[in-house]
């Protein structure tokens, strides 16, 4: 399969669709997932186009891991989480639904299961507040 530049994350990267941005540098952006599986669920999206890890440039992947770690540490602190789940999916059989490489960073709390990715969008005020918490922890 080839990369489709009309995917929602490509549109966010181009500024065509708004997001609750947490962090951005020349290589990637981090923003809140609009259908979170838990409070503070964020996404890390590289700016370089690729469907997923299967076709990603290894140099892009090398730049992402330190950012994933940075966001993970900040997320644990910002939300007082007991742990963090980092997820990444490849192709439909692997659970991928948006075909631009991305990583999920989800704060986790003992005894609290992940919510399903239901298609129900979170209240924008909650997303904005969570983005602010995460930005503050990154400062």
* Residues noted as catalytic: 102
58-79 and 124-138 helices, crossing angle to 10°? 100
Angle at 52 between CA 48 and CA 54, to 5 degrees: 110
Is the separation of the CB atoms in 29 and 21 below 8 Å? yes
Q: Strand, helix or coil at 77?
A: helix
CA distances from 90 to 52, 103, 128 (A): 6, 11, 28
Q: Write the DSSP symbol of residue 93.
A: G
Measured between alpha carbons, how far is 13 from 47 in angstroms, rounded to an integer?
Answer: 7
């Amino acid at each position: 399969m080839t990369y489709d530049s009309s995917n929602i994350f490509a549109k966010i990267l181009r500024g065509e669709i708004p997001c609750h941005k947490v962090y951005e540098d020349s290589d990637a952006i981090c923003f809140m997932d609009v259908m979170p599986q838990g409070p503070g669920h964020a996404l890390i999206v590289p700016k370089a186009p690729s469907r997923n890890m299967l076709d990603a440039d290894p140099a892009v992947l090398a730049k992402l891991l330190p950012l994933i770690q940075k966001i993970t540490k900040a997320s644990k602190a910002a939300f007082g989480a007991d742990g963090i789940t980092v997820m990444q999916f490849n192709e439909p059989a692997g659970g991928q639904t948006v075909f631009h490489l991305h990583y999920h960073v989800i704060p986790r709390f003992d005894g609290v299961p992940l919510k399903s990715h239901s298609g129900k969008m979170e209240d924008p005020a909650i997303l904005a507040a969570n983005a602010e918490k995460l930005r503050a922890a990154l400062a």
